[in-house]
Amino acid sequence: MLRFAATRLVAALPVLLLVSLVSFSVMHLIPGDPAAMIAGPAATNQEIEAIRHALGLDRPFLERLAAWYWHVLQGDFGRSILLNTTVWQAIVDRLPVTFSLSVLALLMTVAVGVPAGVLAALRANTTVDAAVTAMALLGVSVPSFWLALMLIVLFAVVLEWLPTGGYVPFAESPRDWFRSLLMPSVSLALLQIGLLARITRATMLEVLQQDYVRTARAKGLPRAMVIGKHALKNVMVPVITVIGISFGLLLSGSIVIETVYSLPGIGRLLATSIFGRDYPVIQGTLLLTATMLVLLNLVVDLLYAAIDPRVRYGR
C-alpha cells in the first residue's frame, strides 16, 4: 500500500506542474494587471509602467515563470502584490477558516445525507422516499446565495440566535467559533446533503437487490445487521467517492458563502486575488488547491481498500 501511495504521489507531480503552468499562463495572458488596479483608472500610462517596473511585471513572461518555479522548489511561494504579506502567510491565515467550515459542513452532510439516503431506499416508493427525494432535490436546487440570506434573516434578525456573519477563531472562543460557522456550514451542507442522499439511495437500492443480501436475509440475520453490515459497507464505496469530491470542493473555498457570511477564507482570497490580478496569490492558492485534491483522491483510493476487501493495492 505504501508503494502504491508513493507511486500515486510521484504521478501527481506532472499534474501539479501542468496546473501551475496553465494557471500561470492564463492569468498572465488575460488583460489587466495589478499595476493598473493599484494605480486606478485615472492613472497615466507612465504611472502604470512605473508600478509595473517596481513590481517586476515588466520582465519577460518566461523569465517570470522560471523564477516562480525556482522559488517554489525552494518552498517560497513569493510575496502578495496587494496584501503586504507572503503568499504562504496569506494562505495559512485563511486555511483555518475554510478548513473548519469544510469539516463542519462535511460532518453535517454525512450525518444527514447517508441516513436519509438509506431510509429512502429502505422505504422505496413510499411517502418517506418521496419526502427524502423532494428534500434532496430542493437542497440541490435552492441557490446557496438566497438560502444563506434567508438563514440570516431567520436566525440572526428575527430569532437573534446567531450572528449575521464574521469569523471567531476557535482559540478565542470555541462557543463563538461554532456559532459563527453554524449557518455557513448549514448553507454549504444542504447542497451536499441533497447530492449524497440521492447517491446513497440509488446505490442502496441496487445493493439491496444483490444475492448476498438475499442470502443474509434467508439466513435469518437481524435486519439491522443485514443493512448495517452487509449492505451499507458496499454502499460506502461510491458514497466515499462522492464525499471525497465534496470535501475537495469545500476545501477549495466557497466564494459565495464566504462572501455572504463575511468569512475570510480561501475562496474569498482566491476571488479577491483574481479580481485584483494578484498573480503570486492566485498561483499559490491554485497549487495548494490542486495538491489538496490530489491528496484527497489518494486518501479515497486507500479507503476503498479499507472498506472493500476485494480491493488490494501493491500485489
Q: Convert residues 41-70 into a mask of x (bound to other proteins by CB under 8 A) and - (unbound).
A: xxxxx-x---x--x----------------
Contacts of 122 (CB under 8 A, 6+ apart): 204, 208, 227
**The C-alpha cell of 250 is what?**
469545500
Query: Residue 83 interacts with other proteins (CB under 8 A)?
Result: yes
List residues bridging with 86 in a β-sheet: 79
Instruction: Judge whether 196 and 246 are in contact, CB under 8 Å.
Output: yes
List residues bridging with 79 in a β-sheet: 86
Query: Residue 276 interacts with other proteins (CB under 8 A)?
Result: yes
Query: Residue 142 interacts with other proteins (CB under 8 A)?
Result: no
Query: Residue 29 interacts with other proteins (CB under 8 A)?
Result: no
- CB of 138 vs other proteins, minimal distance in Å: 21
Look up residue 138 and give its amino acid. L
Residue selected from 38, 101, 193, 232 as contacting other proteins according to rule CB under 8 A: 38
Pick the closer one to other proteins by CB: 82 or 122.
82
Query: Residue 92 interacts with other proteins (CB under 8 A)?
Result: no
Contacts of 236 (CB under 8 A, 6+ apart): 307
- CB of 265 vs other proteins, minimal distance in Å: 8
- CB of 19 vs other proteins, minimal distance in Å: 22
- CB of 143 vs other proteins, minimal distance in Å: 13
Query: Residue 95's CB: how many other CB atoms inside 10 A?
Result: 17
Task: Tell me which DSSP letter residue 170 carries.
Answer: T
Where does residue 62 fall: left (phi above 0), alpha (psi -120 to 50 degrees), or beta otherwise?
alpha
Instruction: Report the residue count for the chain.
Output: 315
Residue selected from 52, 198, 201, 277 as contacting other proteins according to rule CB under 8 A: 277
Residues near other proteins, by CB under 8 A? 30-33, 36-45, 47, 51, 54, 81-85, 90, 93-94, 149, 152-153, 156-157, 160, 163-167, 259-262, 264, 268-269, 272, 275-277
